[in-house]
Amino acid sequence: MVFDEPTAVLTPQEIDGLLEIMLELQKDGKTIIFITHKMDEIKKVVNTATVLRLGQVIGTFDMKKTNVTELAEAMVGRKLVEVKNKYEAPGKKSVLEVVNAQVSKRHGTTGLENFNLKIHEGEIVAIAGVEGNGQQEVANIITGLIKPDGGKVLMFGEDITNKSIATRYKKYKISHIPEDRHKHGLVLDNNVIDNLVLQDISSKQFSSFGFIKQDKVRSYAQDIIGKFDVRGTQSGFAQARQLSGGNQQKAIVGRELTREHNLIVIYQPTRGLDVGSIEYIHSQILEDKKKGAAILLISYELSEVMSLADKIVVLNSGKTIGEVHGKDAVREKLGEMMMASSKDKEEK
């Protein structure tokens, strides 16, 4: 049996249940190939682990004799540094506020019900929940992809509920790492350089009297390519569609974290990335916090949420179930909160 990243959108309790099933299958004599980048899951169920890097087998490890740190370092080819929020107090200035937002259920979506959110400068607020419980609606009403049916979205106290995407981007400086990298993140037929400066190409930084400053554009884009290890296009002239999904993701993350912003909406930033890239992106998100940016993190990876967030908002069926301070977060408790609404429905 082949399990390819089977726990990507499961709660901690559901993950534990699946791992128990895998162990039972093993006892019954089944052979299991488990493809994952999650170290704790590997340690719990795997007998031997084979590490691949850049398409080459680095080695096969007996997990009874190998710890997860050794395995992770084999995956990236260097020592890893733990990246974790130190929970410095955020600034007092409110950057984003969502007030009583309502989004009706459309085409099978969950919608939102009386959703409230506030993020201050230098604060990371994360939304935790099983995929499809209103997270996308939250991101979309803030970035302008959809308008709420009720309620308001405020930036620095100004109502931007009906403002265009362009106005939010240019005037209020809202950056966005989208969930769908192809639909909302890249122009796939353009080259990587174009994609890294696309929204800012008319700025004084890259244009003068209607002429594009090609050298500055190229230098800026190639700097992002180097810093975020975007592989497959060192020059930046390859089409965006020619990159692997992981390298497309790194290009988008690099672009949005690098450009000037007051608020950044980050949706699944490390999806499909190796542990080395995850470590670097996490460090850059925390660096962004230090610079005073307001950050909304939407992630289905609880370990990511718990490592980065100052505050965690748990969302279920479009409703806020509760809020937890990042330093007080317990994985199992968050999992229970994520499942609370569905349990209530079953009891009824």
Q: Domain ranges in the chain?
A: 2-76, 94-173+260-347, 187-254
Helix-helix angle 214-227:245-258, to 10 degrees:
120
Report the alpha-carbon distance of residue 28 to residue 332 in Å, rounded. Answer: 29
CB-CB contact of 37 with 52 (8 Å): no
pLDDT of residue 80: 82
According to the model, what pLDDT value does residue 69 have?
87
Which CATH number is associated with domain 94-173+260-347? 3.40.50.300
What are 157's two structure tokens? 């106290």
What string of DSSP letters covers 271-340?
TT--HHHHHHHHHHHHHHHHTT-EEEEE-S-HHHHHHH-SEEEEEETTEEEEEEEGGG--HHHHHHHHHH
Tokens of 299: 């992630």
The span from the CA of 63 to the CA of 329, in Å, is 29
Alpha-carbon distance values, 183 to 134, 177, 186, 187, 188 (Å):
19, 12, 7, 8, 9
pTM: 0.86
pLDDT tens-digit profile, the chain (348 residues): 999 989 877 878 889 999 999 999 999 999 999 998 888 899 999 999 999 987 899 999 999 999 888 998 898 888 888 899 988 888 889 999 999 999 998 867 789 999 999 999 999 999 999 889 999 999 999 999 999 999 999 999 999 999 999 999 999 999 999 999 999 999 999 999 999 998 888 888 999 988 999 999 999 999 999 999 999 998 999 999 999 999 999 999 999 999 999 999 999 999 888 888 999 999 999 999 999 999 999 999 999 999 999 999 999 999 999 999 999 999 889 988 988 754 444 443
Residue type, 118: K
Would you state the pLDDT for residue 87?
86
| Bridge pairing between strands 124-128 and 294-298 | parallel
pLDDT for 347 equals: 45
- Structural tokens at position 178: 């989208």
